């Protein structure tokens, strides 16, 4: 019997890296994950729609979890500008939190193989191995190297230097509000429901997610809101992505770091265009955060013994609610391909890539169609005077 080496090096310890890590371990691979951040990632995330592939991946990797794995909304509401209900639709859907997914995966992955404070600086491929070289001068070598290092992926930059995310023309303002922080009437309207308000060239949505320490207890959960607003890349975006200490960020501003005048402008704009329940939600949000909406699609996901997964390869716009489940699908199908090809890495990666490229392209196209329709129906600008459009 031939002995096959099965050691994987994963760059990036967020959800994409952890899904790949637990799935590869489930088929008998030794796995080490290398994460740039020196501290835990598990306290910053917002809400995530619980797509079925997330639980499928947990089941496949025998990751234990409790049901319900989130908070269920029973209907969708669309609000008018005055806060009245324009449309109501029965639709059951569970929403969870980034933190709950992250902590569930992390608790299933051996701590001694999850290395923090390890920033990839360079890569090398030899005939049968791939080596990661870290900024601290150390190295790690495996039979398979996975780039799960997100939008700014160094793995991708080394292999496909001409493919980088592009700004889609709008950002997401986001926030979390404790159930008890909102007045009773507004809280009642927003609880158990996925609530939307569509306005010209913008929309906002909210749903309830687990609270602090992932509590599902009514009263201790959180309202999660996301508001898509158009900003010009050259003249407006740089200011939004400069934090309160004056530091410029590439794609996002974390909770607590938003500049005071940006926060105030957002609140003022909310008062002029959003329905009263959404205005209230934004007004009581202590630490709003910002994520730029990005587009990225690569033409190639495998490079001999290296594979790109998750946001390192494709960034579909968030309207597809697929950022996290895409990483789960990438990992499940990769494990399948390895088993099918007797753990022959190069054969398995070649077989895996075709469908994953198609899947990524499909999500990218779908997200662009949804986003362009909601944000650019009246041109690319942020609408300031609705009466012109409605008249
Ligand atoms: C803290 C955090 C909170 C998030 N919250 C939300 C949310 O609320 N809602 C939502 O829809 N999505 C959220 N996301 C994004 C979401 O998790 C991703 O869209 C999706 O899960 C894809 O994950 P990913 O692992 O491919 O990429 P990312 O989540 O971007 O992870 C990439 C990881 O790679 C690490 N990394 C980058 N460069 C290097 C390097 N050179 N060496 C080593 N490590 C490196 C990063 O530190 C990061 O942990 C969040 C991501 C993070 C990191």
Cα first-last separation, the chain: 77
Residue 14 CA to ligand 1 centre (angstroms):
5
Give the neighbor-by-neighbor strand order of the sheet with 130-134. Answer: 120-125, 130-134, 139-142
Q: Which residue minimizes the CA distance to atom 41 of ligand 1?
A: 120
Whole-number Å distance, alpha carbon 44 to ligand 1 midpoint, is: 11
CA distance 202 to 207: 18
Beta-strand pair 85-97/71-79: antiparallel
Three-class secondary structure of residue 167 per DSSP? strand
DSSP state of 284: T
DSSP 8-state assignment for residue 21: H
Whether 367 is in the pocket of ligand 1, judged by its Cβ within 6 Å, is no
Q: By three-state DSSP, how is residue 291 classified?
A: strand
* Strands of the sheet with 144-147, listed across from one edge: 114-116, 30-35, 7-11, 144-147, 306-308, 302-303
> How far is the C-alpha of 345 from the C-alpha of 357, rounded, in Å?
18
pLDDT attached to residue 391:
36
Residue 356's Cβ-count burial label (10 Å; 0-12, 13-18, 19+) is buried
- Specify the pLDDT at position 386: 59
What does the chain come to in residues?
391
176 lines ligand 1 (CB under 6 A): no
**Does ligand 1 lie within 6 Å of residue 14's CB atom?**
yes
Mutate to test the pocket of ligand 1, among 9, 12, 50 (most ligand atoms within 8 A of CB): 12
117: number of CA atoms within 13 Å, CB side?
A: 4
Q: Is 323 in the pocket of ligand 1 (CB under 6 A)?
A: yes
Q: Does the predicted TM-score (pTM) go above 0.85?
A: yes
Q: What is the pLDDT of residues 302-320, one digit of tens each?
A: 999 999 999 999 999 999 9
Kindly report the number of other CB atoms within 10 A of residue 287's CB atom.
Answer: 14
Ligand 1 atom 9, closest CA? 46
pLDDT of residue 352: 98
Please give the class, per CATH, of domain 7-43+99-165+294-375.
alpha beta
Mutate to test the pocket of ligand 1, among 323, 360, 364 (most ligand atoms within 8 A of CB): 323
Q: Is the CB of 18 under 6 A from ligand 1?
A: no
- pLDDT value at residue 44: 60
Residues with pLDDT less than 50, the chain:
1, 389-391
SS3 207: strand
Residue 222, ligand 1, Cβ within 6 A: no
- At 1 the pLDDT is 47
Domain boundaries, the chain: 7-43+99-165+294-375, 71-98+169-293
Index of the ligand 1 atom closest to the CA of residue 312:
26
pLDDT in tens, 241-279: 999 999 999 999 999 999 999 999 999 999 999 999 999
Question: How many angstroms does the Cα of residue 99 sit away from the middle of ligand 1?
Answer: 12
Per-residue pLDDT, 390 = 44
Taking the CA atoms of 196, 197, 203 and 204 in sequence, report the sign of the dihedral they define.
Answer: negative
Does residue 124 contact residue 133 with C-beta atoms inside 8 Å?
A: yes
The verdict on domain 71-98+169-293 having CATH code 3.30.9.60 is yes
Model confidence over 187-226: pLDDT tens digits? 999 999 999 999 999 999 999 999 998 999 999 999 999 9
68: cis peptide before it, omega within 30°? Answer: yes
Beta bridge partners of 226: 174, 205
């Amino acid at each position: 019997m031939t002995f096959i080496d099965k050691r994987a090096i994963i760059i990036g310890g967020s959800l994409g890296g952890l899904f790949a890590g637990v799935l590869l371990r489930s088929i008998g691979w030794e796995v080490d994950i290398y994460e740039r951040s020196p501290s835990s990632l598990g306290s910053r995330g917002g809400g995530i729609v619980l797509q079925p592939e997330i639980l499928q991946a947990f089941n496949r990797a025998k990751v234990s979890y409790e049901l319900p794995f989130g908070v269920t909304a029973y209907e969708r509401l669309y609000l008018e500008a005055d806060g009245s209900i324009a449309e109501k639709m029965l639709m059951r859907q569970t929403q969870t939190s980034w933190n709950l997914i992250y902590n569930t995966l992390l608790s299933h992955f051996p701590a001694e193989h999850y290395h923090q404070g390890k920033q990839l600086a360079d890569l090398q491929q030899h005939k049968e191995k791939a080596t990661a070289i870290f900024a601290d001068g150390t190295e790690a070598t495996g039979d398979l190297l996975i780039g799960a290092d997100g939008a700014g992926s160094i793995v991708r930059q080394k292999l496909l230097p001409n493919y980088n995310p592009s700004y889609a023309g709008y950002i997401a303002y986001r926030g979390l509000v404790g159930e008890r922080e909102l007045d009773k009437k507004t809280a009642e309207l927003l609880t158990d429901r996925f609530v939307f308000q569509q306005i010209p060239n913008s929309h906002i949505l909210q749903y309830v997610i687990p609270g602090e320490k992932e509590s599902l207890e009514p009263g201790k959960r959180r309202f999660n809101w996301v508001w898509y607003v158009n900003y010009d890349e050259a003249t407006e975006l740089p200011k939004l992505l400069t934090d309160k200490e004056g530091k410029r960020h590439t794609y996002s501003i974390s909770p607590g770091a938003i500049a005071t005048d940006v926060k105030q402008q957002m609140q003022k704009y909310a008062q002029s265009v959003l329905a009263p329940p959404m205005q209230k939600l934004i007004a009581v949000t202590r630490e709003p955060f910002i994520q730029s909406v990005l587009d990225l699609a690569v033409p190639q996901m495998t490079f001999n013994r290296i594979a790109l997964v998750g946001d390192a390869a494709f960034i579909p716009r968030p309207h597809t609610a697929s950022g996290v489940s895409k990483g789960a699908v990438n990992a499940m199908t990769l494990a399948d391909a390895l088993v099918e090809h007797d753990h022959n890495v190069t054969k398995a990666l070649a077989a895996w890539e075709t469908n994953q490229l198609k899947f990524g392209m499909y999500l990218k196209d779908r997200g662009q169609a949804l986003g362009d329709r909601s944000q650019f129906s009246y041109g690319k600008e942020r609408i300031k005077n609705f009466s012109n459009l409605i008249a």
